[in-house]
Amino acid sequence: MTKNHELFTTMPVGQAVAKLAIPTVVSQIIVILYSMADTFFIGQIGDPNQIAALSITFPIYTLLTAVANLFGIGANSVIARSLGQNDEATAQKASAFSFWGSIAVTGVLSVLLAIFMKPILLFFGADEYTFGFTEDYLFWVFVIGGIPTVAGLVLGHLVRSVGKTKEAGIGLTIGGIMNIILDPIFIFVFKMDVAGAAVATMISNAISMVYFFFVLAKIRNTTILTLAPRHFSLEKQVAWGTLAVGFPAAISVLLVSVSISLLNGLLLSHESGNILSAAYGVTSKCGTIALHISIGIAQGVMPLIGYSYGAKDHKRVHDVCRLSFIILLIFSIVFLAIVQLIPNTIVRMFIDHAETIAVGGVFMRCWSWCVIGMSLFNMYNSIFQAVGKWKTSLLLAVLRLGVIFSVLCLVFDRLFGVQGLMWVQAITDTLSCLIAMGLYGHFKKSLAKEFSTQPEAIAIPATPNRIVTISREFGSGGRTIGKEVAAKLGIPCYDSELIEKIAAESGLAKEYIEKHGEYAASDSLYGNAVAGRGRDGQSVSDKMWLAQKKVITDLAKTESCVIVGRCADYILRDIADCLTVFIHASDEQRAERIVSVYGQREESAVQRLHDKDRKRKAYYELYTGAHWGQADNYELCLDSGKIGMARCVHMIAELYQAG
């Protein structure tokens, strides 16, 4: 990280975008591999009817993701806001509601599908050649595997809501890897064909679910997450609060399902429909590469855009958006060129069937012209989500797939037949991108107008007051040293005293600030960047940080004092005469101290030390960009274990008076 700039405020835009977008793109690549596994391995059989079966069943299977988004994404938002208000009861109810609500809805859908399987599959285009394959696939992945699939996805959202993004990512990765391993075993070794792919997917999702149960069991004493049925509630702020936030995410997935089903159904109605459907299945799976990578870039920068917009740093919003558009444009042009050059080779990677390859190559060439519009559209949509304009985002999603795509499918099928259907996606995304571009242009004008009417920022004048900032490793005695230094110098010491001031400034609960004021939700930069963000793009931690900066700045302007922790050394670097101190000690001495001061806990003392230090380090580096605990960031580094706390107090006071 850059030492002298804050990630969300002044870190160079290129670095900030890279640090936030790259981890998201990596996670999306895992999703790509997972989603393509069934198509790839089934394609090796060389039977277009089985590939067509996957295309027919995909929209139905996608309902499970819609249910998970409805409950999981909604609960994530409710939990984050409730914790910030110290309303743990509502947060617990939201976690229980999302889990059991999603299970109930999935159970009902699974039963209905089992009862009405035949008419549903016939409606979606299954025929005598594909019906058996589609029935086998949906029986295992939906009727039997629906609940494990949704449970795993919802639990992933819940775990992510309390900052455990690493664990959420591991759960997703486990499911993907297991599916890739099990697919060839069940398809080729057990000779189960499509049913084998379905069983592999079902088992993989069940393993992912079990992993999340273990994660919840491990963190049950340190988080509010609970699946206990007694916490299930239909209270308005829980049920409606969850469903209202999750609805846009769910409807977007449903629109994808409807659009795929419509186009696939029209293709099946033509001569050699199963070949056309198989070609479309391969094309759409390859399309997920461009789709997920563009989504990864767009969603990765959402926190950065949301934060800058909330802080009214409109220039930074513009710079981040401009760079992201350039990256997406370059990516989409390269992707388009590759597909145009070797479409048949790409199709052959999935299925070795001459007729399907020939049709798929043409389909791929037509479809690939959507990549530029689709990539830019995803970016526009993410911008509107980041700045809280979720209604605009939802409107664009509905227009793109619910209106433009559907109308073009019906019209082009009537006028141009199969050739027209091959061009629907490209024209849809181009038109949708142009509409989004117009709305974004209007948004930019409103930003420019708002920016031009704002008074010029007044530089914060340097204060004549002298401040001691104490940064410290957990258990090193930094807090005690700070208080004794203040007493020796006859100036105030602010440590826990800051909590009430930050609570008043931020509107957050004192208990929440006391618990999370110096500790990041996650050990990873990306985990903290996305954890618990609301519609305005800011997390509860962001709001607390902004309030903390103001409180500490105001104190420095008011009086000389000692401030313990809370990144005060960085906040005051340009506006106060600071003696910056870092207190540290060996693990053994710190472990002995925290046991004597705080008492013995379940985990080992050394484990507690390392956990606290990791989260302090992550918090400091998230909001300052500087390296916590690095010697050249401080004027004085003292080992309280070696020289003793009394000597530390004397040295700090002596240097303060000499300065």
Q: Which tokens hold the place of 61?
A: 């299977």
| Cα–Cα distance for residue pair 140/201, rounded to 1 Å | 8
Between residues 375 and 547, the one the model is more confident about: 375
pLDDT at 8: 56
Confidence class for position 2, pLDDT limits 50, 70, 90: very low
CB-based contacts of 358, cutoff 8 Å, min separation 6: 344
Judgement on whether residues 652 and 553 belong to the same structural domain of the protein: yes
Return the pLDDT at 612: 84
What's the confidence (pLDDT) of residue 457? 44
Q: Which of 423, 457, 491 is at the close of a domain?
A: 457
Q: pTM for this one?
A: 0.71
Residue 28 in domain: no
Strand 636-639: give its sheet, edge to edge: 493-494, 561-564, 466-472, 577-584, 636-639
Q: Which of 426, 457, 488 is the last residue of a domain?
A: 457
Whether residues 337 and 451 share a domain: the answer is yes
The CB density around residue 402, as the number of other CB atoms within 10 Å, is: 17
Query: What's the mean pLDDT in 317-332?
Result: 90
Q: By mean pLDDT, which of 248-262, 326-340, 607-621 is the weakest?
A: 607-621
- 336: containing domain: 296-457
Domain identity same for 487 and 427: no
Quick one: 550 and 640 in the same domain? yes
Domain boundary, last residue among 457, 487, 508: 457
Q: Which of 23-32, 184-193, 400-409 has the lowest mean pLDDT?
A: 23-32
* Per-residue confidence band for 523, with pLDDT thresholds at 50, 70 and 90: low
Check: CB of residue 291 under 8 Å from CB of residue 369.
no
The first and second tokens of residue 144, run together, are 């039997």
In a domain, 544, yes or no: yes
pLDDT above 80 (res 374)? yes
- Tell me: do 136 and 204 sit in the same domain: yes
Q: What CATH number did the domain enclosing 606 receive?
A: 3.40.50.300
Predicted confidence at residue 298, as pLDDT, reads 82
The answer to whether position 376 is within a domain reads yes
pLDDT tens per residue across span 13-65: 777 677 767 766 776 777 777 778 888 899 899 899 999 999 899 899 999 99
- Assigned domain for 632 exists: yes
Average pLDDT over residues 450-464: 54
One domain for residues 119 and 199: yes
Whether residue 453 is found in the same domain as residue 471: no
Are 439 and 422 part of one and the same domain? Answer: yes
**Quick one: how many helices (H) and strands (E) in the chain?**
28, 5
Residue 7 counted as domain residue = no
**526 found inside a domain:** yes
Q: Are residues 338 and 246 in the same domain?
A: no
Start-to-end CA span in the chain (Å): 31
User: In 301-417, which ranges are continuous DSSP H helix?
Assistant: 302-310, 314-341, 343-348, 354-367, 371-386, 390-397, 405-416
Would you state the pLDDT for residue 536?
A: 47
- 418 and 503 belong to one structural domain: no
When pLDDT is cut at 50, 70 and 90, the band that residue 639 belongs to is very high
Strands 493-494 and 561-564: parallel
pLDDT number for residue 120: 95
Q: Which amino acid is at 65?
A: T
- Number of independent structural domains in the chain: 3
Give me the mean pLDDT over the 496-503 stretch.
84
The predicted structure's pLDDT at residue 352:
87
Tell whether 419 and 497 lie within a shared domain.
no
Instruction: Assess whether pLDDT exceeds 90 at residue 399.
Output: yes
Domain assignment of residue 284, yes or no: no
178 and 127 in a common domain = yes
In a domain, 250, yes or no: yes
pLDDT score for 393: 81
Return d(Cα 122, Cα 457) in angstroms, integer.
65
Q: Is the pLDDT of residue 7 over 80?
A: no
Sign of CA dihedral 315, 320, 323, 328: negative
